[in-house]
Amino acid sequence: MTVFSHEAFADHEQVAFVCDAATGLKALIAIHDTSLGPALGGCRMYPYADEQAALRDVLRLSHGMTYKAAAAGLDLGGGKAVIIGDPRRQKTPELLQAMGRAVERLGGRYITAEDVGTSVADFAEVRKTTGHVVGLPTELGGSGDPSPTTALGVFYGLNAAARHRWGATRLSGCAVAVQGLGNVGWHLCQLLHEAGASLTISDLDESRVAKAVATFSACAVAPEAIYAAEVDIFAPCAMGAVLDDTSIARLSCGIVGGAANNQLAREDHGEQLRARGILYAPDFVINAGGMIRVASERTGYDQDFVDRGVEGIGRTLQAIFESAEAAGVPTQTAALRHARARLARARGGHALAA
Protein backbone atom coordinates (compact mmCIF):
# COMPACT_ATOMS: atom_id res chain seq x y z
CA MET A 1 0.00 0.00 0.00
CA THR A 2 1.41 3.39 -0.94
CA VAL A 3 0.73 6.29 1.42
CA PHE A 4 3.23 9.14 0.96
CA SER A 5 3.22 8.66 -2.83
CA HIS A 6 -0.59 8.12 -3.02
CA GLU A 7 -2.21 10.39 -5.64
CA ALA A 8 -4.58 11.73 -2.92
CA PHE A 9 -1.91 12.15 -0.19
CA ALA A 10 -1.82 15.97 -0.50
CA ASP A 11 0.79 16.45 2.24
CA HIS A 12 -1.39 15.10 5.06
CA GLU A 13 0.07 15.90 8.48
CA GLN A 14 -0.78 12.50 9.89
CA VAL A 15 -2.48 9.26 8.92
CA ALA A 16 -3.21 6.80 11.74
CA PHE A 17 -3.89 3.11 11.07
CA VAL A 18 -6.03 1.81 13.89
CA CYS A 19 -6.57 -1.82 14.90
CA ASP A 20 -8.39 -3.29 17.87
CA ALA A 21 -8.33 -7.07 17.58
CA ALA A 22 -10.78 -7.66 20.43
CA THR A 23 -13.62 -5.75 18.74
CA GLY A 24 -12.57 -6.27 15.10
CA LEU A 25 -12.00 -2.55 14.59
CA LYS A 26 -9.93 -1.62 11.54
CA ALA A 27 -9.94 2.08 10.81
CA LEU A 28 -7.97 4.95 9.30
CA ILE A 29 -7.84 8.46 10.71
CA ALA A 30 -6.47 11.15 8.40
CA ILE A 31 -5.48 14.60 9.62
CA HIS A 32 -4.86 16.82 6.63
CA ASP A 33 -4.05 20.22 8.07
CA THR A 34 -4.33 21.87 11.47
CA SER A 35 -3.09 25.40 10.64
CA LEU A 36 -6.47 26.91 11.55
CA GLY A 37 -7.27 24.59 14.48
CA PRO A 38 -7.89 20.93 15.35
CA ALA A 39 -9.03 18.74 12.46
CA LEU A 40 -12.77 18.11 12.43
CA GLY A 41 -14.52 15.57 10.22
CA GLY A 42 -17.01 12.75 10.31
CA CYS A 43 -16.33 9.07 10.90
CA ARG A 44 -17.66 6.92 8.06
CA MET A 45 -18.30 3.18 8.30
CA TYR A 46 -18.37 1.40 4.96
CA PRO A 47 -17.65 -2.11 3.60
CA TYR A 48 -14.75 -0.96 1.38
CA ALA A 49 -13.71 -3.42 -1.34
CA ASP A 50 -10.12 -3.24 -0.07
CA GLU A 51 -7.78 -1.18 2.10
CA GLN A 52 -6.67 0.98 -0.84
CA ALA A 53 -10.28 2.10 -1.38
CA ALA A 54 -10.56 3.04 2.30
CA LEU A 55 -7.28 4.97 2.18
CA ARG A 56 -8.29 6.86 -0.96
CA ASP A 57 -11.65 7.79 0.57
CA VAL A 58 -10.24 9.01 3.88
CA LEU A 59 -7.50 11.08 2.20
CA ARG A 60 -9.86 12.76 -0.27
CA LEU A 61 -12.50 13.49 2.35
CA SER A 62 -10.06 14.83 4.93
CA HIS A 63 -8.39 17.11 2.35
CA GLY A 64 -11.86 18.47 1.44
CA MET A 65 -12.63 19.23 5.10
CA THR A 66 -9.62 21.57 5.32
CA TYR A 67 -11.09 23.69 2.52
CA LYS A 68 -14.62 23.49 3.89
CA ALA A 69 -13.56 24.83 7.31
CA ALA A 70 -11.32 27.50 5.77
CA ALA A 71 -14.01 28.75 3.37
CA ALA A 72 -16.62 28.81 6.17
CA GLY A 73 -14.36 31.00 8.32
CA LEU A 74 -14.09 28.33 11.05
CA ASP A 75 -10.97 27.97 13.22
CA LEU A 76 -10.75 24.29 12.43
CA GLY A 77 -8.61 22.01 10.32
CA GLY A 78 -9.51 19.12 8.05
CA GLY A 79 -9.69 15.48 9.07
CA LYS A 80 -11.76 12.37 8.55
CA ALA A 81 -11.99 8.79 9.78
CA VAL A 82 -13.18 5.62 8.09
CA ILE A 83 -14.02 2.33 9.73
CA ILE A 84 -13.66 -0.62 7.36
CA GLY A 85 -16.75 -2.80 7.78
CA ASP A 86 -20.44 -3.25 7.18
CA PRO A 87 -22.34 -0.99 9.60
CA ARG A 88 -25.38 -3.27 9.51
CA ARG A 89 -23.44 -6.35 10.66
CA GLN A 90 -20.22 -5.20 12.32
CA LYS A 91 -21.11 -2.04 14.24
CA THR A 92 -21.19 -2.84 17.97
CA PRO A 93 -21.01 -0.63 21.07
CA GLU A 94 -17.59 -2.19 21.85
CA LEU A 95 -16.25 -1.35 18.37
CA LEU A 96 -17.49 2.25 18.65
CA GLN A 97 -15.86 2.59 22.06
CA ALA A 98 -12.58 1.23 20.63
CA MET A 99 -12.84 3.90 17.91
CA GLY A 100 -13.31 6.50 20.65
CA ARG A 101 -10.09 5.29 22.34
CA ALA A 102 -8.22 5.70 19.05
CA VAL A 103 -9.53 9.26 18.71
CA GLU A 104 -8.57 9.98 22.33
CA ARG A 105 -4.98 8.81 21.70
CA LEU A 106 -4.61 11.64 19.17
CA GLY A 107 -4.99 14.09 22.07
CA GLY A 108 -7.57 16.39 20.45
CA ARG A 109 -5.79 16.88 17.11
CA TYR A 110 -8.81 15.13 15.52
CA ILE A 111 -12.46 15.72 16.50
CA THR A 112 -14.91 13.12 15.27
CA ALA A 113 -18.63 13.21 14.31
CA GLU A 114 -21.26 11.17 12.46
CA ASP A 115 -21.08 10.40 8.74
CA VAL A 116 -22.32 7.82 6.24
CA GLY A 117 -22.86 4.52 8.09
CA THR A 118 -22.78 6.09 11.56
CA SER A 119 -25.51 7.97 13.38
CA VAL A 120 -25.86 10.63 16.04
CA ALA A 121 -26.90 7.82 18.45
CA ASP A 122 -23.65 5.88 17.75
CA PHE A 123 -21.70 8.82 19.05
CA ALA A 124 -23.21 8.38 22.48
CA GLU A 125 -21.02 5.20 22.55
CA VAL A 126 -17.95 6.91 21.08
CA ARG A 127 -18.27 9.62 23.71
CA LYS A 128 -17.83 7.07 26.51
CA THR A 129 -14.13 6.82 25.58
CA THR A 130 -13.29 10.24 24.14
CA GLY A 131 -14.29 13.85 24.69
CA HIS A 132 -13.17 14.80 21.19
CA VAL A 133 -16.56 14.33 19.58
CA VAL A 134 -19.27 16.66 18.25
CA GLY A 135 -22.68 16.15 16.65
CA LEU A 136 -24.00 14.49 19.81
CA PRO A 137 -27.70 13.96 20.56
CA THR A 138 -29.33 16.98 22.20
CA GLU A 139 -29.99 14.99 25.42
CA LEU A 140 -26.21 14.62 25.75
CA GLY A 141 -25.65 18.35 25.33
CA GLY A 142 -24.99 18.18 21.61
CA SER A 143 -26.63 19.98 18.70
CA GLY A 144 -28.36 16.89 17.25
CA ASP A 145 -28.80 16.15 13.56
CA PRO A 146 -26.84 18.66 11.44
CA SER A 147 -28.75 17.85 8.22
CA PRO A 148 -31.48 20.55 8.47
CA THR A 149 -28.73 23.17 8.92
CA THR A 150 -26.83 21.80 5.92
CA ALA A 151 -30.06 22.05 3.89
CA LEU A 152 -30.60 25.65 5.04
CA GLY A 153 -27.08 26.58 3.96
CA VAL A 154 -27.70 25.02 0.54
CA PHE A 155 -30.98 26.96 0.30
CA TYR A 156 -29.20 30.27 1.06
CA GLY A 157 -26.50 29.33 -1.42
CA LEU A 158 -29.03 28.62 -4.18
CA ASN A 159 -30.69 31.97 -3.51
CA ALA A 160 -27.30 33.70 -3.91
CA ALA A 161 -26.65 31.76 -7.13
CA ALA A 162 -30.07 32.69 -8.59
CA ARG A 163 -29.45 36.33 -7.71
CA HIS A 164 -26.07 36.25 -9.40
CA ARG A 165 -27.19 34.28 -12.48
CA TRP A 166 -30.58 35.85 -13.16
CA GLY A 167 -30.93 38.75 -10.75
CA ALA A 168 -33.71 36.72 -9.09
CA THR A 169 -34.54 37.90 -5.58
CA ARG A 170 -36.29 34.66 -4.64
CA LEU A 171 -36.74 31.08 -5.81
CA SER A 172 -40.50 31.35 -6.23
CA GLY A 173 -41.41 29.93 -9.64
CA CYS A 174 -37.99 28.30 -10.13
CA ALA A 175 -37.85 24.67 -11.27
CA VAL A 176 -35.37 22.67 -9.17
CA ALA A 177 -34.25 19.04 -9.61
CA VAL A 178 -33.20 17.43 -6.31
CA GLN A 179 -31.18 14.20 -6.54
CA GLY A 180 -31.44 12.23 -3.29
CA LEU A 181 -34.17 12.58 -0.68
CA GLY A 182 -32.14 11.63 2.39
CA ASN A 183 -31.59 13.69 5.51
CA VAL A 184 -30.44 16.79 3.64
CA GLY A 185 -32.36 16.38 0.36
CA TRP A 186 -35.69 16.05 2.14
CA HIS A 187 -35.19 19.21 4.21
CA LEU A 188 -34.02 21.07 1.11
CA CYS A 189 -37.20 20.01 -0.72
CA GLN A 190 -39.24 21.37 2.18
CA LEU A 191 -37.49 24.76 2.05
CA LEU A 192 -37.77 24.99 -1.74
CA HIS A 193 -41.44 23.97 -1.69
CA GLU A 194 -42.22 26.60 0.96
CA ALA A 195 -40.37 29.18 -1.17
CA GLY A 196 -42.64 28.41 -4.13
CA ALA A 197 -40.21 26.41 -6.28
CA SER A 198 -41.47 23.47 -8.33
CA LEU A 199 -39.64 20.20 -7.73
CA THR A 200 -38.40 17.32 -9.86
CA ILE A 201 -36.97 14.55 -7.69
CA SER A 202 -35.19 11.19 -7.81
CA ASP A 203 -34.06 8.61 -5.28
CA LEU A 204 -33.20 4.91 -5.35
CA ASP A 205 -35.67 4.43 -2.50
CA GLU A 206 -39.13 4.32 -4.04
CA SER A 207 -40.95 4.94 -0.78
CA ARG A 208 -39.14 8.27 -0.37
CA VAL A 209 -40.00 9.21 -3.95
CA ALA A 210 -43.70 8.44 -3.39
CA LYS A 211 -43.70 10.47 -0.16
CA ALA A 212 -42.07 13.48 -1.89
CA VAL A 213 -44.57 13.35 -4.75
CA ALA A 214 -47.43 13.40 -2.22
CA THR A 215 -45.90 16.02 0.10
CA PHE A 216 -44.44 18.49 -2.38
CA SER A 217 -46.48 17.77 -5.54
CA ALA A 218 -43.08 16.89 -6.99
CA CYS A 219 -42.52 15.31 -10.39
CA ALA A 220 -40.63 12.01 -10.00
CA VAL A 221 -38.08 10.83 -12.56
CA ALA A 222 -35.87 7.72 -12.75
CA PRO A 223 -32.40 8.16 -11.15
CA GLU A 224 -30.54 8.46 -14.47
CA ALA A 225 -33.14 10.86 -15.94
CA ILE A 226 -32.56 13.60 -13.35
CA TYR A 227 -29.52 15.01 -15.20
CA ALA A 228 -31.52 15.80 -18.32
CA ALA A 229 -34.50 17.30 -16.46
CA GLU A 230 -35.39 20.70 -17.93
CA VAL A 231 -35.04 22.83 -14.83
CA ASP A 232 -33.42 26.04 -13.65
CA ILE A 233 -31.35 24.42 -10.88
CA PHE A 234 -29.90 20.95 -10.35
CA ALA A 235 -29.21 20.09 -6.67
CA PRO A 236 -27.10 16.92 -6.15
CA CYS A 237 -27.85 15.64 -2.63
CA ALA A 238 -26.90 11.96 -2.92
CA MET A 239 -23.42 10.73 -3.83
CA GLY A 240 -20.14 12.35 -4.91
CA ALA A 241 -18.55 12.38 -8.40
CA VAL A 242 -21.92 12.83 -10.14
CA LEU A 243 -20.66 15.65 -12.37
CA ASP A 244 -18.64 13.93 -15.09
CA ASP A 245 -18.24 14.10 -18.90
CA THR A 246 -21.54 12.30 -19.50
CA SER A 247 -23.77 13.98 -16.94
CA ILE A 248 -22.49 17.52 -17.66
CA ALA A 249 -23.28 17.08 -21.35
CA ARG A 250 -26.85 16.12 -20.45
CA LEU A 251 -27.56 18.95 -17.97
CA SER A 252 -30.33 21.34 -18.94
CA CYS A 253 -30.11 23.90 -16.13
CA GLY A 254 -28.46 27.25 -15.37
CA ILE A 255 -27.19 26.48 -11.85
CA VAL A 256 -25.76 23.42 -10.07
CA GLY A 257 -25.63 23.51 -6.27
CA GLY A 258 -26.32 20.83 -3.65
CA ALA A 259 -25.18 19.07 -0.50
CA ALA A 260 -23.19 16.12 -1.86
CA ASN A 261 -19.45 16.14 -1.16
CA ASN A 262 -16.90 15.95 -4.00
CA GLN A 263 -19.47 16.46 -6.77
CA LEU A 264 -16.89 17.03 -9.53
CA ALA A 265 -15.53 13.70 -10.75
CA ARG A 266 -12.37 15.56 -11.80
CA GLU A 267 -11.16 19.10 -11.17
CA ASP A 268 -11.49 20.03 -14.87
CA HIS A 269 -15.24 19.35 -14.74
CA GLY A 270 -15.49 22.80 -13.14
CA GLU A 271 -14.26 24.21 -16.45
CA GLN A 272 -16.71 22.05 -18.41
CA LEU A 273 -19.61 23.51 -16.43
CA ARG A 274 -18.33 27.04 -17.02
CA ALA A 275 -17.94 26.37 -20.75
CA ARG A 276 -21.60 25.28 -20.84
CA GLY A 277 -22.64 28.52 -19.12
CA ILE A 278 -23.74 26.70 -15.95
CA LEU A 279 -23.04 28.45 -12.64
CA TYR A 280 -21.61 25.91 -10.20
CA ALA A 281 -21.82 26.57 -6.44
CA PRO A 282 -18.72 24.73 -5.13
CA ASP A 283 -19.84 21.88 -2.87
CA PHE A 284 -17.43 22.52 0.01
CA VAL A 285 -18.75 26.08 0.32
CA ILE A 286 -22.49 25.52 -0.10
CA ASN A 287 -22.69 22.41 2.12
CA ALA A 288 -20.82 23.78 5.16
CA GLY A 289 -23.95 24.42 7.28
CA GLY A 290 -23.74 21.12 9.18
CA MET A 291 -20.06 21.67 9.95
CA ILE A 292 -20.79 25.17 11.24
CA ARG A 293 -23.49 23.73 13.51
CA VAL A 294 -21.42 20.92 15.03
CA ALA A 295 -18.36 23.19 15.33
CA SER A 296 -20.30 25.45 17.67
CA GLU A 297 -20.62 22.57 20.18
CA ARG A 298 -16.93 22.92 21.02
CA THR A 299 -17.54 26.12 22.92
CA GLY A 300 -21.15 25.51 23.95
CA TYR A 301 -23.88 25.50 21.32
CA ASP A 302 -24.64 29.04 20.17
CA GLN A 303 -27.63 29.51 17.85
CA ASP A 304 -26.58 33.07 16.87
CA PHE A 305 -23.14 31.84 15.81
CA VAL A 306 -24.77 29.11 13.70
CA ASP A 307 -27.33 31.48 12.13
CA ARG A 308 -24.65 34.01 11.21
CA GLY A 309 -22.36 31.32 9.81
CA VAL A 310 -25.07 29.68 7.70
CA GLU A 311 -26.35 32.99 6.33
CA GLY A 312 -22.72 33.81 5.49
CA ILE A 313 -22.67 30.92 3.00
CA GLY A 314 -24.70 33.04 0.54
CA ARG A 315 -22.34 36.01 0.91
CA THR A 316 -19.22 33.85 0.53
CA LEU A 317 -20.64 32.30 -2.63
CA GLN A 318 -21.50 35.73 -4.04
CA ALA A 319 -17.86 36.83 -3.52
CA ILE A 320 -16.61 33.60 -5.14
CA PHE A 321 -18.91 34.02 -8.17
CA GLU A 322 -17.67 37.60 -8.64
CA SER A 323 -13.99 36.74 -8.30
CA ALA A 324 -14.37 33.76 -10.68
CA GLU A 325 -15.94 36.03 -13.27
CA ALA A 326 -13.31 38.73 -12.83
CA ALA A 327 -10.46 36.23 -13.16
CA GLY A 328 -12.13 34.20 -15.93
CA VAL A 329 -11.78 30.93 -13.99
CA PRO A 330 -14.25 28.24 -12.87
CA THR A 331 -16.02 28.93 -9.58
CA GLN A 332 -14.34 25.82 -8.09
CA THR A 333 -10.93 27.39 -8.77
CA ALA A 334 -12.01 30.71 -7.24
CA ALA A 335 -13.36 28.89 -4.16
CA LEU A 336 -10.10 26.99 -3.68
CA ARG A 337 -8.14 30.24 -4.02
CA HIS A 338 -10.37 31.87 -1.41
CA ALA A 339 -9.82 29.01 1.07
CA ARG A 340 -6.09 28.76 0.33
CA ALA A 341 -5.61 32.49 0.93
CA ARG A 342 -7.03 32.12 4.46
CA LEU A 343 -4.88 29.05 5.08
CA ALA A 344 -1.75 30.81 3.81
CA ARG A 345 -2.39 33.71 6.22
CA ALA A 346 -2.68 31.22 9.11
CA ARG A 347 0.53 29.51 7.96
CA GLY A 348 2.52 32.74 7.97
CA GLY A 349 2.38 33.09 4.20
CA HIS A 350 3.24 29.46 3.40
CA ALA A 351 0.77 28.13 0.85
CA LEU A 352 -0.71 24.67 1.31
CA ALA A 353 0.23 22.14 -1.38
CA ALA A 354 -2.58 21.81 -3.96
- 203 belongs to the binding site for ligand NAI (CB under 6 A): yes
Q: Is 238 in the site for ligand NAI (CB under 6 A)?
A: yes
Among 86, 205, 307, 311, binds ligand NAI (CB under 6 A): 205
- Out of 239, 265, 329, 346, the only residue in the binding site for ligand NAI (CB under 6 A) is 239
Q: Judged by CB, which is closer to ligand NAI: 98, or 253? A: 253
Of residues 183, 190, 318, 323, which one binds ligand NAI by CB under 6 A?
A: 183
For Cα atoms 172, 324, 329, give the angle at the middle one, nearest 5 degrees: 125
Residue 76 near residue 343, CB atoms below 8 Å: no
Instruction: Supply the minimum distance, in Å, between the C-beta of residue 4 and ligand NAI.
Output: 27
Helices then strands, each counted (H, E), the chain:
13, 11
Q: In terms of CB distance, is 69 or 98 closer to ligand NAI?
A: 69
Minimum CB separation of residue 259 from ligand NAI in Å reads 4
- Smallest CA-to-CA distance from 4 within 30, 36, 25 is with 30
Regarding 204 and contact with ligand NAI (CB under 6 A), the answer is yes
Q: Extract long-range pairs of 119-124: CB within 8 Å, 24+ residues apart.
A: 120/144, 120/145, 122/91, 122/96, 123/96
**Of 80, 208, 274, 340, which one interacts with ligand NAI (CB under 6 A)?**
208
Q: Is 153 in the site for ligand NAI (CB under 6 A)?
A: no
CA trace torsion 81, 84, 90, 91 (10° rounding): 0
For ligand NAI, how many residues bind (rule: CB under 6 A)?
Answer: 25
Task: Give the phi and the psi of residue 42 in degrees, each rounded to 5.
Answer: -70, 165
SS3 340: helix
Positions 245 through 274 that interact with ligand NAI (CB under 6 A): 259-261
Going by the DSSP 8-state scheme, the letter that residue 24 receives in this structure is: T
Q: Which residues are catalytic?
A: 80
Examine residue 232 and tell whether it contacts ligand NAI (CB under 6 A). Answer: no
Question: CA 342 to CA 71: how far, in whole Å?
Answer: 8
Q: Which residues bind ligand NAI (CB under 6 A)?
A: 146-147, 150, 179-185, 202-205, 208, 223, 237-240, 259-261, 287, 290
